[in-house]
Every structure is written in C-alpha cells, then in structure tokens.
Structure 1
Amino acid sequence: MSDNGFDPSAPPSGPGCVECEEAGGWWVHLRRCAQCGHVGCCDSSPSQHATAHHRETSHPVMQSYEPGEDWFWDFVREKGVLGPVLAPPTSHPDDQPAPGPAGRVPDDWRDHIHQ
C-alpha cells in the first residue's frame, strides 16, 4: 500500500456499492477508493457511502467507477488530482445502469438524490 493514497494493485471490491448491496439500496453513480478498492456510492446518492468510507478510513483519494471516466478526487485537498491506472476492472459493468442497480431504483429516484 502506498502512503499517497494510491495502490494500483488493489482490485475493486465489486461491481456496485458494497453497503448499498448489503442493504438492498441503490445509487446514482459509483466511486472507487484508490487505496483499497472499496466501491461506494457518490454524494448525489441517498447514502453517500464513498464519502463515508473516506471519513471512516482516512483513505484520501477516490476515482470514478463509471464507464469512460478516469478522474480522481482528493478529499483532503478538496480537488481533482492525477493518479495511476488502477487494477481492472476500472468501472462497473457496461450493462449496469446509472442509477442502479437495475430493479432497485425507485421511479421517483430524482426526489431522493442530494444536489
């Protein structure tokens, strides 16, 4: 593990938000911890598990876990940063919708998001 918040060898924890999957919840977008690979939901999502992971672990950097996106966010510096290519897969499956997962997103999901 690296002390700068990046461990390129750490695989993602799975195709969706760990805590939402356990609770039967849903998310708007997914974020991946660049240090340990934990996948959590974004701050627009009802539960905001990616930020909660940062608060619980002090792991400083996350990366988008959305197809076609490779940006990083540093919670400590509160800004986007550059980072290495992380272990695959680099996003949730292409056929998984956003918001997702399929079948668990309420019809009125926009009324439940944080803006």
Structure 2
Amino acid sequence: MGGWKAAPDAGLPGGGRCTHGDADAHLPPREGVAACDDCPEGARWVNLLRCLTCGHTGCCDSSPGKHAYAHAETGGHPLARSLRSGDTWAWCYEDQLFVVPDDGGHDD
C-alpha cells in the first residue's frame, strides 16, 4: 500500500517535506467513529483525526480539546488523517504540514 507525501504547498509557503510518509495511506476509518476518544460525552468538536500509528481518534486543533494534537505529542505518533467525509489529507504534527496519499509519482 502507498504512503504519504507533502501536499503541493503543504500548507506552508515554499512547501515542505514530511519524514513520516511511510505510514499506510489506505487505512479505512474506524467503523462507527462519531466522537473524539478523549472528549466528554456530548462535547462539540470541529473535525476528527485518526492516528495512523494506533488508530486513536482525536478532535482537531480548531476544537476546544485539541485531543489529536495532545495524542501526537504524548504518544509520539506524528500522522493523523482527517475523518471528514471526502477528505484525503492527513496532518504531520512533527513536520507541521499537510500530507496527501502518495500515488507513486515524483512531484514532491
């Protein structure tokens, strides 16, 4: 299965490079995920991210809990994929950039 590469602009002026692109880009979302693993029941969040190392689901940095970021920091798991329907990106917390599935091309 393919990995990840920095998005064309990576969310940064001048682009960037992710050093964690070997994580599996084709892991399906966890079945029935409808909430952050760490937020109290009924809490509101903006988006959910799934850790590509262990599958933990956390709320994004625009959410009050910022649990995906906290998980990346405490667990040392740098990549988390958006669970929003239609999204194909992930965020690399260590390299601070957006990544997209690597289709095997060499345009990064």
- Equivalent of 1:6 in 23, 35, 46: 23
Aligned partners of 1:62 and 1:83: how far apart in 2?
12
Partner of 1:71: 89
C-alpha offsets along residues 6-63 of structure 1, whole Å, 9 cap, x if unaligned? 255586383321111xx22221111111111111101111111000110110101011
4+ residue runs over 6 A deviation: none
Aligned partners of 1:71 and 1:10: how far apart in 2?
13
The alignment's C-alpha RMSD in Å is: 2.4
- Conserved 8 A contact 2:29-2:50: no
| TM-score between the two structures when normalised by the length of structure 1 | 0.59
Paired positions, count: 80
1:26 aligns with 2:44: yes
What 5-or-longer segments of structure 1 have no aligned partner? 85-115
Partner of 1:16: 35
Q: Higher strand fraction: Structure 1 or Structure 2?
A: 2
SS in 1 for 2:50: strand
Q: How far apart are 1:67 and its partner, in Å?
A: 0.6
Q: How far apart are 1:72 and its partner, in Å?
A: 1.1
What 5-or-longer segments of structure 2 have no aligned partner? 1-19, 103-108
Alpha-carbon distance change, 68 to 10 in structure 1, aligned in 2, over 3 angstroms: closer
Q: Higher helix fraction: Structure 1 or Structure 2?
A: 1
